[in-house]
Amino acid sequence: MAELITDIASLRSRLSGVRKTGATIGFVPTMGALHAGHGALMDAAQLGCDFVVVSVFVNPIQFNNKEDFEKYARNLQTDLDFSSTHHVGVVFAPSQEEMYPAEQDTFVEVLKVSKGLCGEFRPGHFRGVATAVAKLFNIVQPDLAYFGEKDAQQLAVIRRMVQSLNIPVGIVPVPTVREPDGLALSSRNQRLTQEQRVHARLLFQALDAARISVMTGSRRISEIRGAGLKVLAGEPRISVEYFEIVDAENMQAVTDMSGRICIAAAIWLGSVRLIDNLSLPPRS
């Protein structure tokens, strides 16, 4: 059974004892509502480290929509049980007061990478993510930290933050876990109605159509985007927030296909926002 710790002092004391044994510490930061995608992160951490810590904290400062924050699924006992099945050593589940004991007036902001895509439509989101993750890195002090490739822009932000601030933690990306029809696993999926769930698969199909466009020789950005947008246009109940071709490292829009690219998209189905992406190697 994973050990539950809810305060910073106790966690630091516990991990101090772990380090004295020479064990390496792997860290998986989450907001709970754990699913097989999180399980893949935990399994990767188990393979790469001796002791695994999972955090469960719904971070209020990364939500620009109060209703979205309040609706976020929370079930700590279920998350604890799930973590235990993946042989996690400690689940760190601090309260909001433990993480933010006073008004938060110090923030971490990664400027270039966080612009565009989700950063354009969710102002302040990545500032909140980077600040919370920086705090968690300082609390846990892991050797390696594991992040899913589904959140490509978040992964890029964390990588740049660690590099820029000389934080001594290795960032390990883990491939996206998908349903049989391609839909990326996400805590938000459980908020989809049955009808919306059927339409949600079109997000991956659109990304794949853009990927096929590239693989079959397309080099014009407008043509590649058009291939994906055509798929989404077939379902009027889907609202497209963005569908872009960006550099996979800095998340900025590209004008040619010479480097490693990321096809990234965000859509709305009713009140549920879904994101996904596919990365492609450099093309000549």
Collapsing DSSP states into helix, strand and coil, what is residue 91? strand
Q: How buried is 82 (Cβ within 10 angstroms: 0-12 exposed, 13-18 middle, 19+ buried)? A: buried
Q: Which residues pair with 171 in a beta bridge?
A: 145
Q: Which two structure tokens, joined as six digits, stand for 70?
A: 């309040």
Cα 165 to Cα 162: distance, rounded to the nearest angstrom = 5
Cα 194 to Cα 131: distance, rounded to the nearest angstrom = 36
Q: Is 86 a catalytic residue?
A: no
Q: HSE-up of 214 (CA within 13 Å, CB side)?
A: 25
Distance of CA 112 to the CA centre of its chain: 18
Nearest residue to 223 via CA among 239, 209, 242: 209
Q: Report whether 62 contacts 132 (CB < 8 A).
A: yes
Q: Report whether 257 contacts 279 (CB < 8 A).
A: no
Q: Which of 38, 86, 125, 199 is catalytic?
A: 38
Collapsing DSSP states into helix, strand and coil, what is residue 184? strand
Q: Report whether 132 contacts 99 (CB < 8 A).
A: yes
Write out the catalytic residue numbers. 38
